[in-house]
Chain A
Amino acid sequence: MKTLKIFIAVLAISINIAHAQFTKAEVQVSGLTCSLCSKATEKSLRTLNFIGDVKADLNRNVFVLTFKRDVPVNLDQISKKVQSAGFFVNNLKATFDFDNVKVTDSYFSYAGDTYRLINGANKAITGPVALTVVDKGFAPPSTLKKYSAIGPDNVIGKSGRVYHLAI
């Protein structure tokens, strides 16, 4: 019984420690109209080891991805898999849990890559926040154009690829 209590206590503590990570994403795919094409896209996405589950809304061409808890998420791989199925990402909105993550001058790092918030970083950011990726491969040219005037990245002391995110 005592062991069980300790176990429950440890479990409760470990649940309370929120993982700073991407938890889920909504991916809207462009160019799709047939369920066979959607299935090909879903099957392609499911080959990624960090994706736990995929739910498709076949009428809106939206795939809701649930990420595994302890496997680093690579957003570029998602775009690559959609393109290899023959389509394009029209919009990718990923939810990032900011607990235990420090945002410095609009930048934060995750799994070896750098993420730049192009708006909203003036407020304190905590907990789960939905972020839209505004890089090539994640949005149509018209959307990218809207965000083209954000200025160069400050890459000093930062690692990996720099993603650009809008809140």
Chain B
Amino acid sequence: MKILVLAGAFLALAFPAFAQELYVNTEPASNMATHSLGIRLENQGYFNPVYKNRTTLELMYGASRYLMVHGSLYQSDYYQNQQHFEGGSVYAKYRFLSIDSVQSHFRGAFFAKASSINNPLPNQEIALEGDNSGLQGGVLFTKLMHKLALSGSASYLHAFNNVGNYNLPLTNANNAIAYTLSAGYLLFPKTYTNYNQVNVNVYVELLGKTNPGYGQNYLDAAPAIQFIFNSLLRVDLSYRAPLWNNMIRTSNNTYLVRLEYNLFNVF
């Protein structure tokens, strides 16, 4: 808890200027524009003890001004020697609160995720991004002020047995609580003149999970840098490392590279 308070204070101090909420490791409470489509191609992985990586293809669609949906497919060699197709997940986010004024807003959203995955289950962490079949539901709030954007979420996860007769070990938690705290800062441009300027945003995100009743916790820090070209193409780079961890996971330290392309008014 002390770490969390310190980290929060650090975030508040570190980002006193323009802020952005296109978070790399979490979602903001805002949605994409209605009828716009985002296509994400992502690779994350680690080098120790051997190089392993996961590729994710994600489609995101603004269904209405309140609702957006994501669908993701996962492939990795995290649990096998070869790359293989691991399964998929669906995600929906409903914005229920918007208090907007010029260059600032406070928004709230509910979100839910379901995944079906065919990997073995050696880990204590429950993660629906390619590792576990399960359900997740939660709430998130994003406060964007002219000079600071903060976002926080809390959610509940429930894991099922994985596809392919991979049963959750009896000694493992099948429920978890996840929480996140994110901050973003617009580095460039200092002032906007047109849509083609490259935007550079930096982020620091705190990502935590706990398995209640099992004494298993982690809190990761994930700094990230983001480039947006022509207000259409987004490139995210992030590195994730634990501030605190006593949970068995695939890896503690992972990199993330992501490309996102946005299409407006598609269907």
A residues near B (Cβ < 8 Å) are 28, 30-41, 43-44, 47, 56, 58-59, 61, 83-88, 90, 140
Contacts and interface: CB of A to CB of B under 8 A. Distances in A.
A36 B65 CA distance: 16
A140 B100 CA distance: 8
A32 B22 contact: no
B35 A90 contact: no
B73 to A, nearest CB: 24
Given A31-B104, A36-B232, A38-B195, 17 more contacts: A30-B105, A33-B146, A33-B149, A35-B195, A36-B228, A40-B264, A56-B195, A58-B193, A58-B194, A58-B195, A59-B192, A85-B34, A86-B31, A86-B32, A86-B62, A86-B95, A90-B101
Interface residues of B, number: 41
A28 B19 CA distance: 20
B199 A34 contact: yes
Contacts of A140: 100-101
Contact of A44 (B33, B101, B262): B33
8 contacts: A30-B105, A31-B30, A31-B103, A34-B20, A36-B231, A39-B264, A44-B264, A84-B64
Contacts of B144: 31, 33
A90 B33 CA distance: 18
B197 A33 contact: no
A31 B193 CA distance: 19
Interface of B: 18-22, 30-36, 62, 64-65, 95, 98, 100-105, 144, 146, 149, 186, 191-195, 197, 199, 228, 231-232, 234, 262, 264-265
Contact of A33 (B31, B36, B64, B103): B103
Given A59-B192, A86-B65, A90-B101, A33 B32 contact: no
A43 B18 contact: no
Contact of A83 (B20, B65, B195): B65
Contacts of B231: 35-36, 38-39
B142 to A, nearest CB: 11
Nearest to A59: B192
Contacts of B262: 36, 40
Contact of A30 (B18, B36, B100, B193): B100
Contact of B102 (A30, A37, A56, A84): A30
B33 A41 contact: yes
Contact of A39 (B20, B62, B232): B232
A11 B24 CA distance: 57
Contact of A35 (B35, B103, B228): B228
